[in-house]
Amino acid sequence: MIERLISEIKKKNAPIVAGLDPMLKFVPEYIQKKAFSEFGETLEGAGEAIWQFNKAIVDAINDLIPAVKPQIAMYEQFGVPGVIAFKKTVDYCRKKGLLVIGDIKRGDIGSTSEAYAIGHLGKTPVGLTRISAFDEDFATVNPYLGSDGVNPFVKVCEEEDKGIFVLVKTSNRSSGEFQDRLLSDADNRPLYEIVGEKVNEWGKELIHEGYSDVGAVVGATYPEVGKALRKIMPSSYILVPGYGAQGGSGKDLKHFFNEDGLGAIVNSSRGIIAAYTQEKYAKYGENNFEEAARRAVIDMKEDINANI
């Protein structure tokens, strides 16, 4: 799967992923009103509003980017109707030729992790059939439970030609509380480096065109950590959150890439989908939120390509 992502990144000259995290406060009022007039102020109404919002964004930017990353929490908060909107979004994006990175951060053990893996990336056995349930292309995975939690995903990646990004060093302020701890049983190196080494190990049999189907998440907000992890995981694609709204900028990103100009894909969520709420793009107004999103993608692409 990683070779498909690389090919799309090259084709669109954009190592960029748009985070589809449709909080209701980003959805223009006229879209919300329309949805609520049909379904009421209900979870169904909210699901309809975020789905219509996503659809317009995707229509406006799909030719510019290789992939989207829907954050499932933003859908799950609306219960079953939210999960329906998530599934519609996944299907629509794939139909539009986009790769879909499900930002699900799942992680459990044994048969439970297997259930997540087949549910999101593989096919679930039902009677004599096997059925794709959510059918994303990639998923993010939490490593806290160790190999027992990650290996079922690796297995599905191999069988179904899919990919994962394992959380190594996250972009948030408190990510260091556990991830940065220095390990006396590993020459005083930080935990995230040991997780990075494991990412290498988990992905070593799944390398295509120089990169593995098993990638890593490393936040743009920690460029020095990105530099260190880039060396530790030379064959892993790094999914980089934290650009834009969280404070990372283009010049912070250089070290996340390899010398071949590949190896990283940078996410922006509200920086794109809520661009119209920023001063810089305010002239578009909420009636042209999707054009603001398109402009934000073009600007982000320039910023990042100038710094690789």
Q: According to CB under 8 A, which residues from 181 to 210 bind a copy of itself?
A: 181-186, 188, 191, 194-195, 198
Q: Which stretch binds a copy of itself (CB under 8 A): 94-102, 112-120, 222-230, 259-267?
A: 112-120
* From 12, 55, 105, 155, the catalytic residue: 105
Long-range contacts: 274-280, Cβ < 8 Å, 24+?
A: 274/26, 276/28, 277/26
Q: Is residue 171 a contact residue for a copy of itself (CB under 8 A)?
A: yes
* 62 vs 267 by CB, closer to a copy of itself: 267
* 144 vs 306 by CB, closer to a copy of itself: 144
For residue 105, indicate whether it is catalytic.
yes
Give the nearest distance from C-beta 199 to a copy of itself in angstroms: 12
Q: Is residue 102 a contact residue for a copy of itself (CB under 8 A)?
A: no
157's CB contacts (< 8 A; 6+ apart) are: 1, 121, 163, 164, 206, 213, 214
Q: Which of 62, 179, 212, 258 binds a copy of itself (CB under 8 A)?
A: 179
- Considering only residues 15 through 54, tell me which ones interact with a copy of itself, judged by CB under 8 A: 21, 23-24, 32, 36, 41-43, 45-46
Size of site (CB under 8 A) for a copy of itself:
75
Q: Is residue 178 a contact residue for a copy of itself (CB under 8 A)?
A: yes
Q: Which of 74, 101, 206, 292 binds a copy of itself (CB under 8 A)?
A: 74
Q: Which of 118, 216, 264, 272 binds a copy of itself (CB under 8 A)?
A: 118
Q: Which sequence positions are flagged as catalytic?
A: 105
